[in-house]
Amino acid sequence: MGLEEKRKSGIKIVLLCFILLIIILVVWGLIGGSVARDIGTTCDMGIGDSLCWTWHKNLVGQIAEEINEYIN
């Protein structure tokens, strides 16, 4: 295998890894967007209402969690 073929093969691998990373980020953002739509959850980092990569329970979510623990 020549140097040019190795270079093309390396570029294809890097491009494939980049595309896979983008797909993973989009899927995680969609999952986070659906989680962040709940009343007790706030999106920390995301784009609009559909993509959210990090989220946390807000005050309403924490109160609801405490009530659920008390009931169960």
User: Residue 1's pLDDT is what?
Assistant: 63
Question: In three state form, how does the secondary structure of the chain look?
Answer: CCHHHHHHHHHHHHHHHHHHHHHHHHHHHHHHHHHHCCCCEEEEEEECCCEEEEEEECHHHHHHHHHHHHHC
23 band by pLDDT with thresholds 50, 70 and 90: very high
Gap between the Cα atoms of 69 and 37, Å rounded: 22
- pTM, full prediction: 0.72
48 band by pLDDT with thresholds 50, 70 and 90: confident
Domains contained in the chain, number: 1
Q: Tell me if 65 is assigned to some domain.
A: yes
Q: Which domain holds residue 45?
A: 40-72
Q: Tell me if 2 is assigned to some domain.
A: no
Q: Tell me if 4 is assigned to some domain.
A: no
Q: Tell me if 57 is assigned to some domain.
A: yes
Answer yes or no: is pLDDT of 49 > 80: no
